[in-house]
Amino acid sequence: MQLTLWTYEGPPHVGAMRVATGMRDLHYVLHSPQGDTYADLLFTMIERKNTRPPVTYTSFQARDLGSDTAQLFKDAVRNAYERFQPQAMLVGASCTAELIQDDPGGLAHALALPIPVVALELPSYQKKENWGAAETFYQLVRNLVPTTRVERVEGAAPSCNILGPTALGFRHRDDLKEIRGLLAQIGVEVNVVAPLGASPHDLTRLGQADFNVLLYPETGHSACAWLQRTLGQPHTRTVPIGVQATRAFIAEVAGLAGIAPQEALARVDASASHSPWYSASVDANYLTGKRVFVFGDATHAIAAARFASQELGFQIVGLGTYGREFARDIREAANGYGVEPLICDDYLEVEAAITAAAPELVLGTQMERHIAKRLGLPCAVISAPVHVQDFPARYAPQMGFEGANVLFDTWVQPLMMGLEEHLLHMFKGDFEFHEDAAPSHLPRNNPTPAAVIPEPAPAPVEAPAPLTATATAVAAEAPAAPAMPAPGVAPIVVARWAPDAERELGKIPFFVRGKARRNTERFALDQGVATITIETLYDAKAHFSR
Amino acid sequence: MNAAVIPIHADTGCTDTEILRERGQREVFCGLTGIIWLHRKIQDAFFLVVGSRTCAHLVQSAAGVMIFAEPRFATAIIDERDLAGLADANEELDKVVSRLLQRRPDIKLLFLVGSCPSEVIKLDLSRAAQRLSQQHGAVKVLNYSGSGIETTFTQGEDACLAALVPQLAPAQDDQPSLLIVGALADVVEDQFRRLLAGMGITRVDFLPARRAGSMPAVGPQTRMLLAQPFLAETARLLEARGAQRVAAPFPLGVEGSAAWLLAAADAMGVPQDIALQAMAPARARAEAALAVHRRQLAGKRIFFFPDSQLELPLARFLAREMGMQLTEVGTPYLHRQHLAAELAWLPAGTVLSEGQDVDRQLDRCRAANPDLVVCGLGLANPLEAEGYTTKWSIELVFSPIQGFEQAADLAGLFSRPLHRRQLLAA
């Protein structure tokens, strides 16, 4: 038994629902107790879909337990077929129905419906949502795709399938648009996109493409591997997140399509690719070496770490994923950055790892957003699970050149916000910027006691006043890192701070304060100092500046 | 003149109406969802669901962002090792509980909440609760089922409160006291306490209390007044301990709140004129506040999908006080005795349905073509996309809607979507 407050992934049947809901003319009958329909609202509320997911639930109750549930299931399948007239059906069990051991596949086949019925075996007590999506898509492909490859007609344009996008996928809608645009520019035709937007009939045409573009390994890899084994269709390995990855992707696609990579790159319009220049511009200097912690599904986490380190000049101080299926890739990538890989689906452990790494920016999921909020750290969302605001109305891909523009804005913005917020915080006790001060550009025609300029406030002990002049001077060239509130910085170290040393620490500009605290504590530990004094603080500073 | 013999028809509303009972796919929450508001009400209680990843995912989806504020609920996820043998599962549960209580030493009451998987594998949570109560002396451990196979949405609260009833102390004295049953928002609870005090009724307790240590006593002098319509099992167990149920409609709207308070007054021996006087200012305020919503709602046709068992009292309020026309009023479960007053007040001819076959009910809804549909979040956006105006029903459980001061807020929940549709169409 595992104590869980938060889960990064739902059960595997939710993954199956993501495939079914992404497709057209497919219906899923799920053997499940009353209440499992809660999953519908993920699609109707978070993704704001305007139709019900194509899922029928048997809704069995306690009084049905016994032989009755099998009949209930058969009735549900028959009624769903008659009502929805799908081209194919999926049948399967949710976690509770798995325990009562009716056989959805066998029961459905006994009905001898005139359409393909694909039975899903989704082990709910071992596997999770992404695995469920991948397995469902794989079973559909395996059951519906003819095993003969259709060779390209002489003179026809090269073509590919785009595989992996699903319902409830993080930015799948816009990534797809971006990638379609790129492929069109290279001169590669798109045969079928699946699961998103495809019908079971469309799946039967998968063999007509020359190769597959695998956008999301988490959901599409099993199907791509089968298509490669069975039809000899190769698939792409590069996930085009970031400018460099996009260029590598174009070259890879060109190779698979039989086009010279240089020619393909020349065909692509990169004039709207702004992130390389933005990142090179002097304004972005302060991003250099910014400590960033990355967590998410493996695909997005690895891509984010690459973009952060190679295209923004950040330093990766943590890299992890909740998806065990791609743990090996994360380990490999983490080794490249010299950090410990974190493979874990316990958000308390993730929180501990973030606290220990003391990053200046967190890139993660919805959970990391809340962890970062609690720790007072800037954060941007790079991966599912996400909440409703990350299914935006505006165009917001992660992939391709526009995707890189979006990443630049999305990741840098919380840092700018962090700088703003902390400048304001820092000047709170300042004679001009205190919180009751009237706007300086407005005449004071109605002076109130609050508008009277107070004396510069003496530094309160618990909230040290900043050395304004120094702070401003340094702020001009300074990286924007928020100071972490003291409780957020987990003391890894036993050394105690003497009150005057703590006050002195408070005089250090906020954007280096966290680092100074860390360094001093590490120094104290190394030197066996039990109480950190002002002397220790400056000894440590001298030590680390060497 | 033979006026004296003109028969007087007692309008019995829907008392004898035949109810459409359906069975099929149910688009409803399971009882686990009750945790979301119960944990806010009992401030030192923790709810540990023993279930699958699905259960954890459900609670997380229903709790929205609330889950991050170090919530007092969690899931012990059963995995394949637990399924191998029951003894092992009990040991595992003990470990999880120990870890949990170490982390949260402030917890005084721990509910082990049963789920579909834990019930199907017949994990005996009541024995586990007894065992754990002994192991952790300072913490009382109780259990109830919030599974989908046994409970629908608000029935989770019924099961939880029913688990508390055997724990309540026996009432010591022979003075009558009033026990209001059902979790109410703190602000509503305080209003009722003030109104009752104004009538001279101060011997009032609420179940659940805000803290585990201050749960009310119960005995033959207890006058039990239900604040919620979904408390069948809790009421039955309280009656078994001698409490006498006070029959009343539910305190929704001005009329419902007044009748509910009058029933309390009557049960506690307070003369009607004193009770009416005590509630007069609040009642007048509420009536005035309702007028604006009545203009928006009067004459509009409304359809209720089943969700919380609040549907009948809500429909009664909207029909009688807001002038709405009822098409179908669906409820997951209809307790005829507890809802007798509501049934009598519903307009005769209202179509009532119990249970659900969602596709067929959607067909009926489309055929009725109502102006407003009350339904869950799984149906709301799809129906909006078809051109219907909807009011999502969960909000009716999470918002303070009972009593005079909330009557207009309650009406506002229904008038807002209609108003919004007008605004966007303009």
Partner residue opposite A62 with nearest CB, options B52, B150, B378: B150
Cα–Cα distance for residue pair A69/A381, rounded to 1 Å = 42
Tell me chain B's radius of gyration from C-alpha atoms: 23
Q: Is B335 helix (H, G, I), strand (E, B) or coil?
A: coil
Asked if B75 lies within 8 A of A14 by C-beta distance, the reply is no
Give the pLDDT score at A539.
87
Distance from A488 to chain B by nearest Cα, in Å? 15
Interface of B with A in 137-196 (CB under 8 A): 147-150, 152
CB A135 within 8 A of CB A165: no
- Chain position carrying tokens 């260029």: A247
> What interhelical angle do A298-306 and A243-257 show, nearest 10?
110
Phi-psi sector, B200: left (phi>0), alpha (psi -120 to 50), beta: left
Q: Is A277 helix (H, G, I), strand (E, B) or coil?
A: helix
- Whether pTM exceeds 0.90: no
Q: pLDDT tens-digit profile of B159-203?
A: 999 999 999 999 988 899 999 999 999 999 999 999 999 999 999
Asked if B26 lies within 8 A of A4 by C-beta distance, the reply is no
B394 touches chain A (CB under 8 A): no
Query: Mutate which of B21, B22, B25 to disrupt the A interface (most A C-beta within 10 Å)?
Result: B25
The residues of A that are catalytic are 283
Query: Mutate which of A3, A43, A65 to disrupt the B interface (most B C-beta within 10 Å)?
Result: A3
Cα–Cα distance for residue pair A295/A321, rounded to 1 Å = 5
Structure tokens at B210: 């805000």
User: CB count, 10 Å around CB of A31?
Assistant: 30
Phi-psi sector, A149: left (phi>0), alpha (psi -120 to 50), beta: beta
CB A235 within 8 A of CB A212: yes
Q: How far is CA B417 from the centre of its chain?
A: 23
Give the pLDDT score at B81.
87
Asked if B28 lies within 8 A of A37 by C-beta distance, the reply is yes
Q: What are phi and psi for residue B327, nearest 5 degrees?
A: -95, -85
Can you spell out the DSSP letters for A201-252? HHHTTGGGSSEEEES-HHHHHHHHHHHHHHH---B------SHHHHHHHHHH
Residues of B in contact with A60 (CB under 8 A): 149
The DSSP code for B252 is B
Give the pLDDT score at A127.
96
Classify residue B272 by burial, with Cβ atoms within 10 Å: 0-12, 13-18, 19+: exposed
Query: Percent of chain B, pLDDT > 70?
Result: 96
Cα–Cα distance for residue pair A432/B110, rounded to 1 Å = 53
Distance from B376 to chain A by nearest Cα, in Å? 9
Residues of A in contact with B80 (CB under 8 A): 123, 125-126
Structure tokens at A78: 């028959």
Residues of A in contact with B89 (CB under 8 A): 1
Give the pLDDT score at A488.
42
Partner residue opposite A41 with nearest CB, options B61, B117, B121: B61
Closest by CA to B237, choosing from B275, B207, B202, is B207
Q: What are phi and psi for residue B389, nearest 5 degrees?
A: -90, 130
Query: H or E element: which one contains A31?
Result: strand A26-31
Asked if A56 lies within 8 A of B121 by C-beta distance, the reply is no
Asked if A58 lies within 8 A of B25 by C-beta distance, the reply is yes
Residues of A in contact with B379 (CB under 8 A): 44, 52
CB A33 within 8 A of CB B79: no
Cα–Cα distance for residue pair A137/A196, rounded to 1 Å = 11
Partner residue opposite A62 with nearest CB, options B28, B95, B149: B149
Partner residue opposite B382 with nearest CB, options A39, A52, A387: A52
Asked if B52 lies within 8 A of A52 by C-beta distance, the reply is no
Rounded to 5 degrees, what angle do the CA atoms A316, A319, A322 make? 160
Partner residue opposite B58 with nearest CB, options A38, A59, A83: A38
Q: What is each CA distance from A25 to A19, A53, A80, A197, A203, in whole angstroms?
A: 12, 11, 12, 10, 12
Give the pLDDT score at A490.
46
Interface predicted TM-score (ipTM): 0.93
Tell me the longest C-alpha to C-alpha distance in chain B: 85
CB A320 within 8 A of CB A301: yes
Residue of A nearest to B359 (CA): A83
CB A99 within 8 A of CB A183: no
Distance from A74 to chain B by nearest Cα, in Å? 12
Cα–Cα distance for residue pair B176/B243, rounded to 1 Å = 10
Per-residue pLDDT of chain A (546 residues; tens, 9 = 90+): 989 888 999 999 999 999 999 999 999 999 999 999 999 999 999 999 999 999 999 999 998 887 789 999 999 999 999 999 999 999 999 999 999 989 999 999 999 999 999 999 999 999 999 999 999 999 999 999 998 888 888 889 999 999 999 999 999 999 999 999 999 999 999 999 999 999 999 999 999 999 999 999 999 999 999 999 999 999 999 999 999 999 999 999 999 999 999 999 999 999 999 999 999 998 888 899 999 999 999 999 999 999 999 999 999 999 999 999 999 999 999 999 999 999 999 988 999 999 999 999 999 999 999 999 989 899 999 999 999 999 999 999 999 999 999 999 999 999 876 677 666 666 665 555 555 665 555 555 554 444 444 444 443 333 333 333 333 333 333 344 444 344 444 444 468 899 999 888 887 766 677 778 888 998 898 888 889 998 888 888 888 776
Residues of B in contact with A34 (CB under 8 A): 26, 28, 30, 148-149, 152
Interface of B with A in 75-114 (CB under 8 A): 75-80, 82-83, 89, 92-93, 95-96, 99-100
Partner residue opposite B120 with nearest CB, options A2, A99, A374: A99
**Which sign, positive or negative, has the C-alpha torsion A227, A231, A237, A242?**
negative
Asked if A1 lies within 8 A of B79 by C-beta distance, the reply is yes
